[in-house]
Structure 1
Amino acid sequence: MPPLETLTDIDMTQSSPKKKSAISKLRDLFGQAQHPYKPSTQIFLDLDVDRVARDMRLSELGAERGAADRPDSDVTILDDVEHRIVENTEGHKQTAHSIYLEQLHIYDARLTALNFEERFAIIRQAAPEAVGDFGAEAAMGRDELFGLRRRLNESEAEREAFRSKHRITRPGHLSTPGKMIFKIGLLAVLFVIEVAVNGSFLAKANQSGILGGLSVAFVFAAFNILVSYFCGLVPIRLLNHRNWLLKFVGLMSLILYLALAVVLNLALAHVREIPPDILVDVDREALRRLIEAPFGLHELQSWLLVGIGIVFSVVAMVDGLMTFDPYIGYTALERRWQTANDRYRNAKDELNERLRDIRDDAAEAMNGAERDLAIRRSEYDSLLVNRGRLSQKFVDHQNQIERATNALLQIYREANRRVRSTPAPAHFTTSYVLDRIPVEPTDRDPDDKERLRRSVDEIQALLTRQVEAVHAAFDAATRSYKEIDELFPEAPHGKG
C-alpha cells in the first residue's frame, strides 16, 4: 500500500497590538490556502493473485497435500493452507480499511478547513466596517478641506478689498525663482562690467595703476548698483500708488535718485581727472571740483565714464522696480491668495485621490472575498463527491479482495484435487464469502448543503451591496467637496 502523507498546518503567529483594518480582514480571508493537503492517487491497490500464489507456494503445497490425500474427504472446515490464504487477504482488508479511515479523516479535515461560518462572521462584520471607515475618512477630509476653503475665502476677500480700494483690475505680478535668479544675475553682470570699465578709466589717475583703479571702481560700482536697485525696489514704486501723498513721495524719490546718480558719477569722473603726481587729498580735491564746477570735465573719457555709470545705474533701478509688482503691498496679498488657493486645490486633489484608492482597495477586497467564497463552495461540493467516491472505491476494493481470495483458494484446491486418490472435501466447491466492513455514510444532511448554499448567496449579495455602498459613499464625498466650493464661492475676477 502506498504511504499516506500526514500534513498539519499550525499557525503560531502572535497577535499584533495594532488593530487590523476591515479591508485587511477581508484580504486575509481569500489570501489563505484553501487546504493544507496534497491530493493522492491510487489509494487502494489490487492484490496480484499470481504473485501471492508464488510467494505462498500454493501449487506446490496443494500437490504435496493432495498426494497425501490431505485434507480428508470428510473435512468440512478450511485446512491450514486455506486459513493462511484467508488470513493474508483479511490482513490486506484491514490495511485497506485503515487507509480508508485515514482518507476519510483527510476529507473531513479539508471540509472543516473551509471554515465557512468563521468567514461569514468576519465578512458580516468587516464589509460594513469598510464602508464605515470610508465614510470616516471622507468626513475627516471634508473637515480639512472646509478649513482650507475658508482660509482661501478670507484671502480672496482681503485681496478683492485691496483691489477695490486701490482700483486694481489686473492680477498681481509675482516673481518666480527663475525670475529672481535672472535679476540677481543681471545685477552681478552689471557690477562686474562697471568695475572692469571704471577700473580701466581710473587707472590713469591712480598712483597704484590698474589695481588702484579697480579698488576705487569696486567701491563706486557697489554703491552705484546697490543704491539704484533699492531705490527702484521701494521708494520709486510709490509713483504707482493711488494715494497722492505717497505718489508725491515716489516722485521726489525718483528726482533724488536721478540727482544722486548724476552727482555720484560726476564725482567719479572728477576723481579720474586728478593727476596722480599732485600731492593733494584726492577726495577733498574731487569734492571741491564737484561743488565749484560740477560739469567742468576736460576729457571725453571722463564724460564716457559718467554716461556708462548713469546707464548702469538706471538699469539697476529698473531691475529693482520690476522685481515685484509695481504696486506696493499687492505682491504679498497676491502671494498669500495664490498660496491658499494652491493648498486648497492640492488638498482637494489629494483627498479625492486618497478616497479613490480606498474605494478601489475596498472594492477589490470585497470582490476577492466574493470570489473566494465561490471557490470554496465549489471545493466543498467537490470534496463531498470525492468522499462518496472514496467509500465506493473501498466497497469495490473489498469485492476485489473477495475475488482474489477465491482465486488463491482455487489455485491451491485445483493443485490438490489433481493428485488426490480420494475425493476432495465438499467445501472445495464452496466459494469464500468475505466479511465486509461497512462504509461511512456518504451523504450528509441535504439540508446542510442547502443552508450553506443560501448562506454563501446571502454573503455574496451582502458583499455586492457593500461594494455599491462604497461607490455611493465615494460619490457622496466628492459631491460634499463640491458643496464646500458652493458654500464659499470664488470672487469674480476683474472686480475693481
Structure 2
Amino acid sequence: MFDFIKTKTIVAPYEPIEFPVLDNEDLTYRFNVAELAKNAARENRPDMNYKGEDANELDFHHKIETYAHQATIKVKQLTEDLRNNITSTSINKEITDVENVEKEFKNKVSAEFTPLLTELAAVRGDVIAAEDDLSDFKKVNKLRRSADYPESHVLTLGILVFALLIESLLNGFFFAKGSDFGLVGGVSIALIVSLLNISIGYLSGWWVFRYKNHISRKWVYCSTILFISTVVVSIVFNLLVAHYREALGVDPEHAATLAVSSFQDGLLSITDVESWLLFMIGIVFFSLAVYKGYSMDDPYPGYGKMSRKRNRLLGDLDELRKEMIDDLDELHQYHLEIIEIKYVDLQRRQKLLNGFISSFEYQMGIYRSYIKNLRSNLNYIIATYRDINTSERTAPPPAYFDSKYNAEFDLDEVSSDYDDKRYEIARLLEGLADSLPAKKAYMLNFKEEYHQKIDEVAKL
C-alpha cells in the first residue's frame, strides 16, 4: 500500500532451545548396561518371581527421566514467556490511534488557523484602508502616476558619506595651513564644515525643494522661498568659510575675527585663489547633497511614504498568506507521516506476533521430539539389559522380561495452548488498510478547504 514499506525478514524473537539427539549405543556404553546385566545374571537377579523393574532398570529410568525433567523445565519457562508475549501483543490502541489521526488533523487545523484567519483578515483590512488612503491622496493631489522612489537608500547614503569624506579631505588640505595640528587639524575643521554644508543641502533637497511640486500654490511659494533661502545660506556659509581660510594664512591666532571683519567689508573681497577654490568645492557638494536628498523619495511630498505603507502592508498580507499555506501543508504532511509510521509499526507488531507463535510451535516440536527420543533411548537400554541378563543367567528370567517395555516419564505438563490472535490482527489490519485511502482523501479535502478559506480572506 505504501511505497516506503519494505518487506523485511522477521527473525523469531526467541532462540529455540536445541536438545542433542542421544545415541542408543553411546548411552548403553555410558550407563554400563552390559556389565550391570551380566553381574545381575550371575546372581540370577531379578528373581524369576520378581515383578516390576529391578534396581538397575529403575536407575536407567531415573537417569533418562532426569534428561526429560531438565528439558521440561527449560521449555516450560521459554514457552511461558512466549505465551505471555503472545497474549500481551495487541494492536487495538494503535488501530484507534491511526483512525483518530484525521480527527486530530481537523482539530489541530481548526485550533491553529482560526485565529490566524482573523489576523489575516485584520491585515487585509489594513491593506484596504491603505489603498483607500492612497487613492484619496492621488485624487486630492491629482496624481495619475505610480510613486517613483528607490527601493533602497543604501546607495544614496553611501554617496553622501563618500561626499562628506571627500569634501573633508579636500578642505582639510586648505585648512591645514593655519592649523596648529597640520593636516589632522585641518581635516578635523573641514569635517565639521562639510557636515554642516552637506546636511543643509540634504535637508533642503529632501524636505524643502520637494514641495515645489505640491498642488497647493501656497506650498509651492513657501517651498520656493525657503529653498532660495537655504541656497543663500549655503552661499553665505561657504563664503564665510572661504574668508576664514584666507584669514588663517594671514593671522592664524585671530583668524575668526579677521574672517568676520573681512566678510563685513565685502562678501566677495576674497583675494586668495585657494579660498575661492574652497568656496567652489562647498557649493558643488552642497548641490550634490540637494540632488541626493531630492531623489531619496518620490518628487511629490508624502506620496512615496503612503505608497510604501500600502506596499509594505501588501507584502505583509502576502507573506502571512504564504506562511499559513506552508504551515497547513506541513501540518497535513506531518499527519500523513504519522499514519504511515503507525501503519508500519502495526505491520511490525503483526510480524512480531507471528514470530512469537512460530517460536512457540517450533520449540514445542523440538521438545516433543526430544521426549520421544528419550523414551526410545530408554526402551532400547531396557531391552538390551534384559536380553543380556536373560542370555547370561542360569535360572529362568522373570515373566515381565517377556513383555515389551514402554517407557513413560512422570513430567510436569508443558501446555501447548496459546491465544492465537493472528486471524484477528490480520482482519483488523486489512480493515485499516481498506479505510486509509478514504481517511487520506478526507484530510486532503479538508486541507484544500482551508487553502480556499485563506485565499478568500486574503483576496483584495
Same structural fold, with TM-score higher than 0.5 when normalized by the shorter chain: yes
Tell me, yes or no, if the aligned pair for 2:208 and 2:223 is still in contact at 8 Å: yes
1:97 and 2:72 are equivalent in the alignment: yes
Tell me, yes or no, if the aligned pair for 1:367 and 1:463 is still in contact at 8 Å: no
AA of the residue aligned to 2:277:
L
The sequence identity of aligned pairs, in percent, is 18
Of the structure 1 ranges 250-259 and 189-198, higher mean CA displacement relative to structure 2 is found in: 189-198
Matched residue of 2:337: which SS?
A: helix
**Alpha-carbon spacing, 1:273–1:56, altered in 2? closer, same or farther (3 Å):** closer
Matched residues in 2 for 1:156 and 1:380: separation? 66
What residue is the counterpart of 2:348 in the other structure? Answer: 375
What residue is the counterpart of 1:285 in the other structure? Answer: 261
**Alpha-carbon spacing, 1:94–1:268, altered in 2? closer, same or farther (3 Å):** closer
AA of the residue aligned to 2:62:
E
Instruction: Give, in angstroms, the shift of residue 238 of structure 1.
Output: 0.9
AA of the residue aligned to 2:135:
E
AA of the residue aligned to 2:59:
R
**Alpha-carbon spacing, 1:163–1:114, altered in 2? closer, same or farther (3 Å):** farther
What residue is the counterpart of 2:446 in the other structure? Answer: 473
Tell me, yes or no, if the aligned pair for 1:207 and 1:277 is still in contact at 8 Å: no
1:185 and 2:161 are equivalent in the alignment: yes
Matched residue of 2:147: which SS?
A: coil
Of the structure 1 ranges 409-418 and 275-284, higher mean CA displacement relative to structure 2 is found in: 275-284
What residue is the counterpart of 1:7 in the other structure? Answer: none
AA of the residue aligned to 2:305:
A
1:146 and 2:121 are equivalent in the alignment: yes
Instruction: Give, in angstroms, the shift of residue 93 of structure 1.
Output: 2.8
1:241 and 2:214 are equivalent in the alignment: yes
Residue pairs, 1:409-420, within 5 angstroms = 409-420=382-393
Instruction: Give, in angstroms, the shift of residue 277 of structure 1.
Output: 5.8
Cα deviation digits, residues 450-480 of structure 1 (max 9, x gap): 4443323233444443333222222222221
Matched residues in 2 for 1:107 and 1:470: separation? 40
1:326 and 2:305 are equivalent in the alignment: no
Matched residues in 2 for 1:242 and 1:460: separation? 73
RMSD: 3.3
Equivalences, count = 444
Tell me, yes or no, if the aligned pair for 1:270 and 1:289 is still in contact at 8 Å: no
Instruction: Give, in angstroms, the shift of residue 227 of structure 1.
Output: 1.6
Matched residues in 1 for 2:288 and 2:348: separation? 79
Instruction: Give, in angstroms, the shift of residue 182 of structure 1.
Output: 0.9
Tell me, yes or no, if the aligned pair for 2:13 and 2:352 is still in contact at 8 Å: no
Matched residues in 2 for 1:434 and 1:134: separation? 73
- 2:172 aligns with one of 196, 213, 220: 196
What residue is the counterpart of 2:197 in the other structure? Answer: 224
Cα deviation digits, residues 104-127 of structure 1 (max 9, x gap): 312212212322233334444455
What residue is the counterpart of 1:336 in the other structure? Answer: 309
**Alpha-carbon spacing, 1:457–1:217, altered in 2? closer, same or farther (3 Å):** closer
**Alpha-carbon spacing, 1:485–1:38, altered in 2? closer, same or farther (3 Å):** closer
Instruction: Give, in angstroms, the shift of residue 354 of structure 1.
Output: 1.9
Matched residue of 2:283: which SS?
A: helix
Instruction: Give, in angstroms, the shift of residue 62 of structure 1.
Output: 0.9
Tell me, yes or no, if the aligned pair for 1:391 and 1:442 is still in contact at 8 Å: no
**Alpha-carbon spacing, 1:353–1:429, altered in 2? closer, same or farther (3 Å):** farther
- 2:250 aligns with one of 276, 286, 291: 276
Residue pairs, 1:90-489, within 5 angstroms = 90-166=65-141, 167-174=143-150, 176=152, 178-179=154-155, 181-199=157-175, 203=177, 217=190, 220-273=193-246, 276=250, 281-290=257-266, 294-435=267-408, 440=415, 442=417, 449-486=422-459, 489=460
Cα deviation digits, residues 202-244 of structure 1 (max 9, x gap): x4xx596957866765554343222222211211111122222
**Alpha-carbon spacing, 1:480–1:215, altered in 2? closer, same or farther (3 Å):** closer
Matched residue of 2:250: which SS?
A: coil
Of the structure 1 ranges 352-361 and 280-289, higher mean CA displacement relative to structure 2 is found in: 280-289
Matched residues in 2 for 1:219 and 1:368: separation? 70
Cα deviation digits, residues 123-164 of structure 1 (max 9, x gap): 444552233223433334323322222222222322233233
Cα deviation digits, residues 153-204 of structure 1 (max 9, x gap): 222322233233330512341462523541442342244135325426xx4x
TM-score, normalization: structure 2? Answer: 0.84
**Alpha-carbon spacing, 1:321–1:198, altered in 2? closer, same or farther (3 Å):** farther
What residue is the counterpart of 1:85 in the other structure? Answer: 60
Instruction: Give, in angstroms, the shift of residue 51 of structure 1.
Output: 4.4
Matched residue of 1:326: which SS?
A: coil
Matched residues in 2 for 1:239 and 1:124: separation? 71
Instruction: Give, in angstroms, the shift of residue 300 of structure 1.
Output: 4.2
**Alpha-carbon spacing, 1:92–1:273, altered in 2? closer, same or farther (3 Å):** closer
Instruction: Give, in angstroms, the shift of residue 324 of structure 1.
Output: 2.9
AA of the residue aligned to 2:312:
T
**Alpha-carbon spacing, 1:381–1:271, altered in 2? closer, same or farther (3 Å):** closer
Matched residues in 2 for 1:222 and 1:136: separation? 57
AA of the residue aligned to 1:193:
L
Cα deviation digits, residues 32-83 of structure 1 (max 9, x gap): xxx9x95113444433444443443222111111122222234342111111
Matched residue of 1:234: which SS?
A: helix
Matched residues in 1 for 2:179 and 2:32: separation? 136
Tell me, yes or no, if the aligned pair for 2:72 and 2:414 is still in contact at 8 Å: no
Matched residues in 2 for 1:398 and 1:140: separation? 72
AA of the residue aligned to 1:285:
S
Structure 2: runs of 5 or more not aligned? 1-9
Matched residues in 2 for 1:419 and 1:98: separation? 40
Of the structure 1 ranges 465-474 and 57-66, higher mean CA displacement relative to structure 2 is found in: 465-474
